[in-house]
Amino acid sequence: MIICHFDLPRCFSRFERPDFPLKFSGASPLAGAVPYAQCYGGHQFGTWAGQLGDGRAITLGEILNSKSERWELQLKGAGKTPYSRFADGLAVLRSSIREFLCSEAMHFLGIPTTRALCLVTTGKLVTRDMFYDGNPKEEPGAIVCRVAQSFLRFGSFQIHASKGEEDLGIVCSLADYAIRHHFPHIENISKSETLSFSTGDNGQSVVDLTSNKYAAWIVEIAERTASLVARWQGVGFTHGVLNTDNMSILGLTIDYGPFGFLDAFDPSYTPNTTDLPGRRYCFANQPDICSWNITQFASTLMAAHLISDKEASYAVERYGTKFMDEYQAIITQKLGLQKYNKQLVNKLLNNLAVDKVDYTNFFRSLSNIKADPGIPEGELLVPLKAVLLDIGKERKEAWASWVQSYIQELVASGISDEERKASMDLVNPKYVLRNYLCQIAIDAAEIGDFGEVRRLLKVMERPYDEQPGMEKYARLPPAWAYRPGVCMLSCSS
């Protein structure tokens, strides 16, 4: 079985070709390709883990498409690599479907991500102990071909810096390669652009990004990462495993494992069973964790003598500023307002958490509120009745108070209800890839029916549209969706 998506390179524009499954299962190499697996290190759960690497990912090579865009093709689950250690390098169908669907869902939500070109079933069984409880079972195997302009990650540089002075030159060479191919505007930066910035509380220190391309590079990586995380927070996406080896230098969402979109709003939500003790990677922690990861990456460039301490500090500072600017802009757009209102936002998030309100459906419903201060108090919550479920009198009063404050902001903005609803629906998705939807598709696929995978993919291609007849894909999760293996998964499967 082959499921194919994404704009294929012209040479593979017809996946009906008989050699397609051979090429994209790794059975037959691409002409002129020299496949390889990447070696990298990383901080995992805050601790340096040493050498890691692509244990089940094999890069087939890089191609240039008809637009002269560079794309790296990578197979995940095709077999052992030099970094598989004691594992088999294979992947199971359930995790492959999850990555295939979510990378595409994220793309259509407008969030930077690696893409999924195709998914190929292998016809072989793979043994996995999904819960690490001593009860392994055989599952169908599959291979995803994922694509990105680069799969370089923070850990690709960290591993060489960790080996001492003899490998620091590799850090420099790899940075030069990344800048030349993926940040050419930095390679050609001109001193006439005067990219100089004051830093510190007194503004006395100055960082000139035109005098050191590596400083300009780390600042751009920090800003791309900040923008990415702000967008995650905007749609309620939790990555689950934000180790430094899972951080893209291009600011892409990469390595889909135990991810999850918020259902009932819970800032401490983590979809990763391994993360449960400390919830290091929970939804609310993602901005700070990625700042910490930027700090580790900047330290790597400092160790290689590519940037100074001052330049590293500035990159981390830029991350924080960029994140707050982007997040506040996103939440303001989600509310349909003209300017950020911290008090209104904080009260809203508190209310959502107290009543465990569905994050996606709440914001989608919010656009139905009218900017009319004359609405009777007893009718204020009518537009939200489908999402404010099972709340008592006291909580209804708290929500009514918030809605009144919100309406005052809407009136002050002066935007018509129709115009505001249209703009809000463009940033508040109706459909996100909830874990239980994935599981329904996986259950069907495991007995040979891939129809639901295809239907779900089509729905996720238009997350902001109403899509009449597809409303079931916006429903709240059923009770069974909260069992382990659906709402939460382990780090690796």
**What order do you get walking across the sheet with 70-76 strand by strand?**
2-4, 115-128, 137-148, 70-76, 57-64
Amino acid sitting at position 126? V
For residue 9, is pLDDT > 70?
no
Residue 120 lies in a domain: yes
For residue 157, is pLDDT > 50?
yes
Mean pLDDT of 69-80: 93
* Top-confidence range, 129-138, 158-167, 199-208: 158-167
Q: How confident is the model at residue 32 (pLDDT cuts 50, 70, 90)?
A: confident
Average pLDDT, the chain: 92
pLDDT of residue 17: 75
> Model pTM greater than 0.85?
yes
Angle at 367 between CA 239 and CA 388, to 5 degrees: 70
Instruction: State the Rg of the chain over Cα.
Output: 24
Residue 136, C-beta contacts closer than 8 angstroms, at least 6 positions apart: 127, 128, 129
Instruction: Give the domain-ending residue among 150, 171, 188.
Output: 150
406-447 tens-digit pLDDT: 999 999 999 999 999 999 999 999 999 999 999 999 999 999
- Tokens for 338, please give them: 């003209």
Residue 76 lies in a domain: yes
Phi, psi of 492 (to 5 degrees): -140, 140
Of the given ranges (127-131, 324-328, 349-353), which has the lowest mean pLDDT?
A: 127-131
Q: How confident is the model at residue 5 (pLDDT cuts 50, 70, 90)?
A: low
pLDDT of residue 191: 54
pLDDT of residue 204: 57
Residue 485 lies in a domain: no
pLDDT of residue 359: 98
Of 345, 340, 334, residue with least CA distance to 425: 334
Q: How confident is the model at residue 1 (pLDDT cuts 50, 70, 90)?
A: low
Residue 403: domain span: 337-414
Give the C-alpha separation, 74 to 293, whole Å.
24
Instruction: Give the domain-ending residue among 133, 150, 167.
Output: 150
pLDDT of residue 46: 96
Task: For residue 480, give the 3-state DSSP assignment.
Answer: helix
Residue 19 lies in a domain: yes
**Catalytic residue check, 449:** no
pLDDT of residue 333: 98
- Tokens for 187, please give them: 């390679």
**Across the chain, how many H-helices and E-strands are there?**
14, 11
Domains in the chain, number? 2
Give the C-alpha separation, 111 to 113, whole Å.
6
Cα-based torsion angle of the residue sequence 381, 383, 386, 392 in order, rounded to the nearest 10 degrees: 0
Residue 436 lies in a domain: no
Terminal CA-CA length for the chain: 21
Give the C-alpha separation, 391 to 493, whole Å.
38
Return the percentage of the chain with pLDDT > 70, whole number. 93
pLDDT of residue 81: 95
Residue 64, C-beta contacts closer than 8 angstroms, at least 6 positions apart: 70, 71
Residue 252 lies in a domain: no
Instruction: Give the domain-ending residue among 98, 123, 150.
Output: 150
Mean pLDDT of 240-269: 97
Give the C-alpha separation, 257 to 270, whole Å.
12
Mean pLDDT of 95-116: 97
Q: How confident is the model at residue 132 (pLDDT cuts 50, 70, 90)?
A: confident
213-235 helix and 309-335 helix, angle to the nearest 10 degrees: 30
Residue 475 lies in a domain: no
Residue 313 lies in a domain: no
DSSP string, 196-215: EEEESSSS-EEEETTS-HHH
Of 245, 255, 275, 358, which one is the catalytic site residue? 245
Of the given ranges (156-165, 200-209, 377-386), which has the lowest mean pLDDT?
A: 200-209
76 has which bridge partners?
57, 144
Mean pLDDT of 388-399: 95
